[in-house]
Structure 1
């Protein structure tokens, strides 16, 4: 049954996602998607620069539109950042077709086309908060990024970096089984990870800790089957903050195993709370990640943009 389309709709396809399988996955469901969105225009993008060029005329007009990212979490992250930079939350709606490896943005999966999870109801939206990250890059220039899924520092962030820059073994595992590749990356990263001395600020508290892992959540799924059972709403104005501090390798492995079941028990080395602002400072650069994309900084400040983006429902 076709979805009611009140606004121009654009499907932005990343053919290279999911280890180069994005185009094949799109072709397998294309006719069904177009059957639901018969007036949608398809746009194939080859790079981030190409994406910016193709979206510029759409974002620069006064006309409202629906933009559907057909790719992975990295694709949705890039488009969301372009929308959030313009600070026009009432103008465009963002949806997704999960052609990627993990598709955390779409979890829990509620609607499918074929076996692909989707959020393509152009007539039904959720107005969601976004996270804003301000940081100083390696050239000492102030930078800004946004996220609509989650952000991390520590072992999760470094794991994301390794997953995005795989060696031969990980590349082969990714081609065979995504969850196995995620678990392999997580365990390999944990085994080589060393805690880093950092200072964190949140909810009027300042702590000096050995950074093992930090997750800041708008969506409780962090990668593959790893997730928290934290009560976070799309528009509640807060982020879920979960800190692992001063942990041994074995404690991190146990935490990973628990997160596969959605369990995160607080204690002397684990903090779980809700925040609207967070800061982490380090004497040496640390990797941080937002929606799967990584960067480095010594000073990272996170805040919430309330009801900043319109997301299509499933």
Structure 2
């Protein structure tokens, strides 16, 4: 078992949270290897080196220890854009995770039995399942194309802007982030709502289109996002579909009401909600805009999102 640890997760508090988890895991696992790469590039190299050393037959687990961004980094190191499958040699590898981040949406819903020292842990290969992976093919502002994969969700609009602000939080919100994550998320949301303008974007599926300005569009493989918010739509990790949840353009008060509902898992009944289900979605904003994938931001001119059904084995509980 290889654990790739990001000690800077959750405003630099991850290492303190990791230490009691490591002690408990070492009592149970004699083959535990822990690496703390200096940056994202080194983390990806560690994962790919492990893949190259694998025989494709012997089961092994690579564990992303950090936030949802760390899970996304390991996912993209595992996947091969040439085949949209795990890289050669990774056929028997399983993706696990230890939630040392702020939101830890990958771990939701959490099982009490899969928590160590208040940290969610998903490393049980006996509970691993093949899950869908989202693929984003993005046109960047410089005219180049890039491919990224995601396990949880993609978004464009208010949520993407909020993720970008939260990831780069400074000052009061940065201080709050290291002490009370949910309060920091709420403060970030309020700040972004105060300056938000509806985003003109064309959202197109296989046989439908939504072309009006929006507050946000979420393309989901998990209903959980931004800490404590969650949708009431039916997507599952292996159903071959996205939920496409659009927040229609609205004033600040109505957006606040919608967000309050999302903390109670209420969305589809809102007058601002438009919901679709599809396996392919295209996003074409009127101008370059942030696209969020599992909490990580890329500025794009457009993006095509598609479901890759049951391509990766993941520890799901």
Query: Displacement of 1:212 after TM fit?
Result: 0.6
Query: Displacement of 1:266 after TM fit?
Result: 4.2
Partner of 2:27: 35
Aligned with 1:265: secondary structure?
A: coil
Deviations 1:199-250 (A, max 9, x none): 1111411222112111111111011111012222221100111001222222
1:140 to 139, 143, 151: 143
User: Following the alignment from structure 2 to structure 1, what is the Cα–Cα distance between the partners of residues 181 and 277?
Assistant: 30
Q: Unpaired segments of 5 or more residues in structure 2?
A: none
Query: Displacement of 1:255 after TM fit?
Result: 0.7
1:256 to 244, 254, 259: 259
Aligned with 1:39: secondary structure?
A: coil
Q: How does 1:161-172 map to 2 (within 5 A)?
A: 161-172=164-175
Tell me which moved more, 303-312 or 89-98: 89-98
2:71 to 63, 76, 85: 76
Aligned with 1:35: secondary structure?
A: helix
Between Structure 1 and Structure 2, how many residues are aligned?
306
Partner of 1:105: 106
1:157 to 147, 157, 160: 160
Partner of 1:90: 91
Aligned with 1:153: secondary structure?
A: strand
Aligned with 2:125: secondary structure?
A: strand
Higher percent of residues as strand: 1
User: Following the alignment from structure 1 to structure 2, what is the Cα–Cα distance between the partners of residues 24 and 215?
Assistant: 33
Query: Displacement of 1:138 after TM fit?
Result: 1.8
Query: Displacement of 1:22 after TM fit?
Result: 1.1
Deviations 1:276-303 (A, max 9, x none): 0111112311111000000111211110
Conservation of the 8 A alpha-carbon contact between 1:199 and 1:209: yes
User: Following the alignment from structure 2 to structure 1, what is the Cα–Cα distance between the partners of residues 104 and 33?
Assistant: 23
Conservation of the 8 A alpha-carbon contact between 1:15 and 1:45: no
User: Following the alignment from structure 1 to structure 2, what is the Cα–Cα distance between the partners of residues 268 and 209?
Assistant: 15
Q: Unpaired segments of 5 or more residues in structure 1?
A: 1-8
Check if 1:242 corresponds to 2:249. no
Check if 1:56 corresponds to 2:57. no
Please, what TM-score do these two structures have when normalized by structure 1? Answer: 0.93
Tell me which moved more, 84-93 or 133-142: 84-93
Partner of 1:4: none
User: Following the alignment from structure 1 to structure 2, what is the Cα–Cα distance between the partners of residues 160 and 300?
Assistant: 18
Q: How does 1:206-285 map to 2 (within 5 A)?
A: 206-266=209-269, 269-285=272-288
Tell me which moved more, 82-91 or 294-303: 82-91
